Structure 1
């Protein structure tokens, strides 16, 4: 099957072919006919399978054929990075069609807000938005969504994880009841099904290899202690021959600390975290995408917020707490049927997490031997402290008086 078989609008097909698309991926082959038929849809597919084009193309085909000059489609996304990437893909696919789009997201300055407002007032065909900033435009009265024919929720599970459930329902209250709704998610927990039941009408359902990493990923683990992690990482980045690498850490404090150590190595690297300004984040992603920056370090915000071809190494400096996050992290490599390497550092505290990951992907991950030169490095103190609250803290982060010397009230005397 080729993209010619979908009978797309001629100008849209020209844009598809100019971007180098020839053969649709499985998710595209299965979903595009359903969407073009006008059915609501629940699609569950792993990252890197081409799901963005699977909903953009049929929606853009509808817009191109209907010659609408108002906002027809709304795409909701969990992060500004994903919203921008979807907007860029619309721009490429729509090059010959005249279809317009506007990314709407927070975190920028007043100029960014004004630019978004102008785009909205110009009645762009497609709005790609994060929920919070979209509501700001809705409540200001600038944005009207009464002519929307297509609503797409991309990475719906991630949006619910980030607490956007109420915002999504509030936004839907501004939309026409008669519309086509498409829900795309990498996982399908119960709350996604509940959301789908509330906002979709007799949806078709398509599942593509849920929670399974791409076949082209060479998955490896090293069992080591924390004192060996950074020396091993430096060796991999300097001697492994990798051209484009992402390092995932569990907290931004680790990201910042690791960035300083790698930069001093010296390794060309940038840290991506929430303390950066929006323009700084955009510059880092642009340099990384253009292959001007070989290494980027970040938290799980990067695992679904970056779509860059040619990443040949992903390193889990810390094992993620959720097995699903492991799949999303390593899914940054081996995209579009290419190959890549995913390496995970596993210390004693993370053995249970490793077991959960292997249970999810239904196979053991290959164990690599630690280089001999690193085996003599001694473990730092308290290496075996289990995951959970620090000693003397409760799970809500407050001090536990029992662990800090507060005396118990005297017991009553026995008669």
Structure 2
């Protein structure tokens, strides 16, 4: 199912396309229609299945089409950790880039100055407040948080919040919210205490459970730690070093597809490209050449990660780390189909290390890391816990009418 099938507001659709999303993951397919209908939802799904976009997209759409109160908080997303709050805020900033939707992340661990900035934001109002329970409870106790117009409540990684002892904090927050609201609860597991909490918070919820698929064991998975400028020379080296019958290379953007294809062709490698800028007739012709073996290398966006019916692909290369675990499984699942053997290599840049580590945890397997050829120079160390993904914030707010940056100031 494509994101265009949901008939989102055109401003949101522009943000979806700019984020290089085309096909919905299973949880997005199942959850989004229910949220758009205004129903409460309890969904059981692992991190990496695309669940963040599963609730952000329909909620952004509701705000764009139904309107919001500019002087109050319209949606509260409660999460267990500062890191997750920042991650969701950045994700939201990207998806809502072409809209007027505002947001602020509120979490502990800051100095007194950040507390003042957060106070200003939650008292002036914001469309989305993404917060940790303890910090939000502290603000509510001060008496200035505008909650009267809240329409949506999201509890993300609810089982983890309960494991961390946040039950009382969460219930304190909920007791201060309007009774009439839409509630969404996401959890990786289904312990009895989650059911108990759901019964207290949710009203006639739709229950959805998504099992995370795993890559077939016969796929040999390996990863290279690289700097961005090493990616294209590395792929050129790999394809010159060994002859493959059929290679499929995935890139997250059309720009990368075009650039990589051009550089491979310059080296005499027979490569074709598929992305959404191509006419359907051209796509079909390239696919025919690829399936027949006349074109040994195909470079594509995720448009081909699902449903492509080719059984003899012996190498899949991820030019960059996919958006989430579900996409990773679908991409590398293009090789080792039927009785064939296959390999999958992922090129992991410094900024994508944490994302790749999350995928490893999701598939329950540590992917083998391999060294670069000497002529490409030194490679970065694999240190996903260093938290590089969260430095520098998200995209800027250019093009927005109003939004909150992470310092809590409103821009007109």
Query: Secondary structure of the equivalent of 1:13?
Result: helix
Query: Secondary structure of the equivalent of 2:135?
Result: helix
The 2-side partners of 1:44 and 1:95 are apart by 28
The 2-side partners of 1:42 and 1:114 are apart by 34
The 1-side partners of 2:97 and 2:352 are apart by 30
Which residue number in structure 1 is paired with residue 410 of structure 2? none
The 2-side partners of 1:293 and 1:76 are apart by 26
Displacement after TM superposition at 1:11 (Å): 0.3
Which residue number in structure 1 is paired with residue 215 of structure 2? 215
**Taking structure 1 as reference, are residues 148 and 93 closer, same or farther at Cα in structure 2, changes over 3 Å only?**
same
Displacement after TM superposition at 1:293 (Å): 7.2
- The answer to whether structure 1 residue 196 and structure 2 residue 192 are counterparts is no
**Taking structure 1 as reference, are residues 313 and 21 closer, same or farther at Cα in structure 2, changes over 3 Å only?**
closer
Which residue number in structure 2 is paired with residue 37 of structure 1? 37
The 1-side partners of 2:37 and 2:204 are apart by 13
The 2-side partners of 1:62 and 1:195 are apart by 26
Give the alignment of 1:179-328 within 5 angstroms. Answer: 179-209=181-211, 212=212, 214-215=214-215, 242-243=224-225, 291-292=349-350, 308-311=354-357, 314=360
Query: In 2, are the aligned partners of 1:312 and 1:341 still within 8 Å (CA)?
Result: no
Which residue number in structure 2 is paired with residue 102 of structure 1? 104
**Taking structure 1 as reference, are residues 15 and 163 closer, same or farther at Cα in structure 2, changes over 3 Å only?**
same
Query: In 1, are the aligned partners of 2:48 and 2:359 still within 8 Å (CA)?
Result: no
Runs of 4+ in structure 1 over 3 Å off = 216-220, 290-295, 308-314, 340-343
Query: Secondary structure of the equivalent of 2:122?
Result: helix
- CA deviation string 1:366-412 (max 9, x = no partner): xxxxxxxxxxxxxxxxxxxxxxxxxxxxxxxxxxxxxxxxxxxxxxx
Query: In 2, are the aligned partners of 1:313 and 1:341 still within 8 Å (CA)?
Result: no
- CA deviation string 1:65-99 (max 9, x = no partner): 12312321000000000011111111111111110
- How many residue pairs match? The answer is 244
The 1-side partners of 2:209 and 2:223 are apart by 36
Displacement after TM superposition at 1:112 (Å): 1.6
Query: In 2, are the aligned partners of 1:27 and 1:49 still within 8 Å (CA)?
Result: yes
When structure 1 is superposed on structure 2, of 142-151 and 75-84 the one drifting more is: 142-151
Displacement after TM superposition at 1:121 (Å): 2.8
The 1-side partners of 2:351 and 2:36 are apart by 40
Q: Could you tell me the TM-score, scaled by structure 2's length?
A: 0.55
Query: Secondary structure of the equivalent of 1:72?
Result: strand
Which residue number in structure 2 is paired with residue 12 of structure 1? 12
Query: Secondary structure of the equivalent of 1:196?
Result: helix
Q: Could you tell me the TM-score, scaled by structure 1's length?
A: 0.55
Which residue number in structure 1 is paired with residue 67 of structure 2? 67
Give the alignment of 1:19-58 within 5 angstroms. Answer: 19-58=19-58
Which residue number in structure 1 is paired with residue 136 of structure 2? 134
Which residue number in structure 2 is paired with residue 366 of structure 1? none
- CA deviation string 1:185-206 (max 9, x = no partner): 0001100000001111110000
Query: Secondary structure of the equivalent of 1:188?
Result: coil
Higher RCO (CA 8 Å, separation ≥ 6 residues): 2
Query: In 1, are the aligned partners of 2:89 and 2:103 still within 8 Å (CA)?
Result: yes
Query: Secondary structure of the equivalent of 1:48?
Result: coil
The 2-side partners of 1:159 and 1:215 are apart by 29
The 2-side partners of 1:19 and 1:188 are apart by 31
Which residue number in structure 1 is paired with residue 145 of structure 2? 143
**Taking structure 1 as reference, are residues 89 and 293 closer, same or farther at Cα in structure 2, changes over 3 Å only?**
closer
The 2-side partners of 1:85 and 1:218 are apart by 33
**Taking structure 1 as reference, are residues 342 and 217 closer, same or farther at Cα in structure 2, changes over 3 Å only?**
farther
Unaligned runs of 5+ in 2: 227-347, 369-412
Unaligned runs of 5+ in 1: 221-239, 245-289, 296-307, 315-329, 335-339, 344-415
Query: Secondary structure of the equivalent of 1:201?
Result: coil
**Taking structure 1 as reference, are residues 341 and 202 closer, same or farther at Cα in structure 2, changes over 3 Å only?**
same
The 2-side partners of 1:86 and 1:48 are apart by 13
Query: In 2, are the aligned partners of 1:153 and 1:182 still within 8 Å (CA)?
Result: yes
Which residue number in structure 2 is paired with residue 155 of structure 1? 157
Give the alignment of 1:264-413 within 5 angstroms. Answer: 291-292=349-350, 308-311=354-357, 314=360, 330-331=361-362, 341-342=366-367
